[in-house]
Amino acid sequence: MNNIKNIFFIFLVAVIASGCATTRSFSSVDSLNQSYTKNISTIAVMPPDVTLSILTAGGALEPQAEWSIAALNNIDSSLVVIDNKRESDFVEYLRPDESDPIYKTIVEHEQLHRAVGQAILFNKLQYPLPTKKNIFDWTLGDGTKAIKDFTGADYALFIHVNDSYSSGGRVVLQLAAALLGVGVNGGQQAGFASLIDLSNGNVVWFNYLQRGVGDLRTETPALITVELLLDSLPD
């Protein structure tokens, strides 16, 4: 009986430890420039780049479309709540029709954000570049002026999140590994958010989030995730 208690204690400790949120933010500004037409900064919220998956017993990630759609809706609702608490103004963004000449430029920059964000993570948190050790000067390029013209906003907020949930088989594997005193990772929530100055494409703020708990499929936990992602977002 004591051995069983010890196993579940080890498993419980691992679950609690995985629930600790790790965030790391970088910024090149203390506050946002005010709009020329308003006394507050305007931020275009770009369509979140979100994928929810099941983590199988073998460690493979199987994307779940319905979960991802639910997550997008919950993130949108969370952004409304956060916008009401801020001094800046979130501008509703609607992707243009594919026939619009600006469509390709905007979609390319949505994809570029993911690549630049991953480069920031690699070079700031894993293998720092000597030339960027003490500075933060990443950019999406001046093509972002097209987004500025289209939305009328001063900045653009990009959000990228991958969220995974352990399958039943993965949970069994975790318990079996605990018998041997070995830790096996369960589902993880990881993502980053960036604020882009649309006048020049510079990334003026970036925040990384990783934790072992959270559920973007439901409204309240999703709000917690978005609040963690945007906690240090400058006003």
Which portions of the chain are predicted below pLDDT 70?
1-20, 33-39, 87-88, 131-133, 170, 173-174, 183-184
For position 75, what pLDDT does the model report?
A: 95
For position 178, what pLDDT does the model report?
A: 72
Phi-psi region of 181 (alpha: psi -120 to 50; beta: other; left: phi over 0): left
- Distance in angstroms (rounded) separating the CA atoms of residues 62 and 51: 10
CA distances from 224 to 47, 80, 101, 147, 230 (A): 19, 13, 37, 28, 10
For position 9, what pLDDT does the model report?
A: 38
CA angle 71, 230, 228 (to 5 degrees): 70
Burial class (CB in 10 A: 0-12, 13-18, 19+), 219: middle
Q: Which of 84, 78, 39, 87 is nearest to 235 (CA)?
A: 87
For position 40, what pLDDT does the model report?
A: 73
Q: 51 has which bridge partners? A: 162
- Distance in angstroms (rounded) separating the CA atoms of residues 212 and 121: 18
Answer yes or no: are the C-beta atoms of 156 and 195 closer than 8 Å: yes
Tokens of 6: 């010890």
For position 145, what pLDDT does the model report?
A: 92
Tokens of 1: 């009986």
For position 190, what pLDDT does the model report?
A: 93
The pLDDT tens digits for 67-81 are 999 999 999 999 999
- Strand pairing class (49-55; 189-197): unpaired
pTM over 0.85: no
